[in-house]
Amino acid sequence: MSESATTREQTPTEAESSYFNSYPPPKALKNHEALAKAFIEYHVEANRRVVLVTSGGTTVPLENQTVRFIDNFSAGTRGATSAEYFLEAGYAVIFLHRQFSLLPYSRHYSHSTNCFLDFMDEAPSDSTSDQGSIVVRSEYQDAMRNVLRKYRYAKENNLLLLLPFVTVTEYMFELRSLANLMKPLGSNALFYLAAAVSDFFIPRHRMAEHKIQSSEVPVSDSDVYTGYNEDQPSHRSKKLIIDLDPVPKFLHRLVDGWAPHGSMIVSFKLETDPNLLVYKARTSLQRYSHHLVIGNLLSTRKWEVVFVTPDPPFERWIRVPKSKRSKSISGAKAQVGLAEGKKLDEEEESHTQDESSSDKEGIEIESLIVPELVKMHTQMIEKARQNTQ
């Protein structure tokens, strides 16, 4: 007996069509496509590697005319920091980021514990005017000059393209479009999917059109909003019960249809339970058939990550040495090593970092992640070239 059309599971192609046909394209998509097309063509001509870095969280609107939405904690630190190290490694970067999240280079000041104005001062005025020039305070001159020069080099050499999104749907449209535009890059393309993409959403046809109303009037149990766009929604409800659907997983389509043949695809897996991290990362790798999953634990993500790959050694840990770890309000240094199933002593940890970085203060783990990815990407490119000869 054949499966019913209403009960059988959709193919990846059908799921893609169903999802994208349910939403209008983002208003900025055409403009972003034009910018990205010109950017990619420029670097194809230069035979330069291009990495698409996705960064920040995605919102899940609760209304079509959105007032309320679901969000996550991501500020885009991993993505913005990694983008800088990719630029230093010679890559051009398409930075697909959550609007108002951290950006490469400006991140050093936009989310500092100091107000940005604390870095500035007013120079003494001359005798003809009481309006002094605005200058950077002397103690910040060297650090800010270094960041400014790197930023200007990236912009003046057309190495950095910033493209914003807000909602999970906008992110999906942008990712699909950019992946297809990157096809001329072939194996020179790298996907670094660091964005914290929502796992659940409310389909558009079930979403309330207007702001969900609340009231001080006591209500019955049936007077609740459940994520369905009812004919006569309640205007008295104080309860909010949201019925969310899983966001379609399009990593298969990215690997098998959207991305250039031979490109490298890297995704992230964040967990809070040390016992689940490696298992979930390996499951994700097997399910979506991409090249690397970088697993990180919420409490130790600034100090350690695990590379999970389909080839030996299958699991490889990268750690910042104990003496070089930056401070973290949300981190728990005592949990370093727990996801690997052991507690590391200081001597063992000292061998998890190259000597070349031992003289740095406050090492950012992205400075260790990106060079390893560059090596892996180089090997993939060389293998692709050998296969075409």
Q: How far apart are CA 302 and CA 77, in angstroms?
A: 10
CATH number of domain containing 23: 3.40.50.10300
124 confidence band (pLDDT: 50, 70, 90): confident
Mean pLDDT of all residues in the chain? 88
CA distance 73 to 198: 11
Q: Is residue 93 part of a domain?
A: yes
Token digits of residue 154: 């990236």
- 293 closest CA partner among 205, 211, 206, 192: 192
Please give the backbone phi and psi of residue 26, each rounded to the nearest 5 degrees, phi first: -55, 145
| Count, residues in the chain | 389
DSSP SS3 for 342: coil
Q: How confident is the model at residue 125 (pLDDT cuts 50, 70, 90)?
A: confident
Domain interval for residue 77: 12-114+135-210+241-343+363-387
User: Count of domains in the chain?
Assistant: 1
Q: What is the pLDDT of residue 238?
A: 62
Q: Of 184, 193, 152, which Cα lies nearest the Cα of 38?
A: 184
Q: Per the structure block, which two tokens stand in for 290?
A: 């991409």
The pLDDT confidence band at residue 350, using thresholds 50, 70 and 90, is very low
Q: What is the pLDDT of residues 184-236, one digit of tens each?
A: 999 999 999 999 999 999 999 899 898 887 765 444 455 556 666 555 555 55
pLDDT score, position 223: 54
Please report which confidence band the pLDDT of residue 40 belongs to, taking 50, 70 and 90 as the band edges.
very high
Higher pLDDT, 260 or 132: 260
How would DSSP label each residue in 291-338?
A: SEEEEEETTTTTTEEEEE-SSTTSEEEEE--GGGPPP-SS--GGGTTG
Would the pLDDT of 360 be above 50? no
Q: Is residue 121 part of a domain?
A: no
Residue 273: how many other CB atoms lie within 10 Å: 12
In this prediction, residue 234 carries a pLDDT of 53
- Asked if residue 3 belongs to a domain, the reply is no
Kindly state the average pLDDT of the residues 126-144.
Answer: 85
Which of 2-6, 82-86, 323-327 bottoms out in mean pLDDT, i.e. has the lowest?
A: 2-6
Confidence of residue 388 (pLDDT cuts 50, 70, 90): confident
Give the residue-averaged pLDDT of 112-129: 81
Q: Is residue 185 part of a domain?
A: yes
pLDDT of residue 267: 97
Answer yes or no: is 234 within a domain: no
Averaged over 291-304, what is the pLDDT? 97
Which is it for the CA torsion 138, 141, 142, 144, positive or negative? positive
> What does the pLDDT average to over 332-347?
82
Residue of 36, 94, 50 whose CA lies nearest to 186? 50
Cα(208)–Cα(229) distance, integer angstroms: 5
pLDDT in tens, 96-113: 999 999 999 999 998 777
Distance CA 59, CA 201 (A): 9
pLDDT tops 60 at residue 325: yes
Report helix, strand or coil for 57: strand
In a domain, 128, yes or no: no
* The predicted structure's pLDDT at residue 361: 63
Convert the pLDDT of each residue in 251-291 to its tens digit: 889 999 999 999 999 999 999 999 999 999 999 999 998 99
Q: How buried is residue 342: exposed, middle or buried, by Cβ count under 10 Å (0-12/13-18/19+)?
A: exposed
What are the start-end ranges of the E strands in 220-303? 224-225, 239-240, 245-246, 264-271, 292-297
Residue 110 has a pLDDT of 84
Domain assignment present for 324: yes
Q: 232 in helix, strand or coil?
A: coil
- Is there a cis peptide before residue 313, judged by omega within 30 degrees of 0? yes
Q: Is 7 left (phi over 0), alpha (psi -120 to 50) or beta?
A: alpha
**Which residue type does 140 have?**
Y
| 114 vs 39: which has the higher pLDDT | 39
pLDDT the model gives residue 12: 80
Whether residue 122 lies inside any domain: the answer is no
The tokens for 118 are 């604390």
- Tokens coding 264: 């490298």
Between CA 181 and CA 33 the distance in angstroms is 8
Helix, strand, coil percentages, rounded to 5, for the chain: 40, 20, 45
Q: What is the pLDDT of residue 102?
A: 97
Q: What is the mean pLDDT of residues 87-96?
A: 98
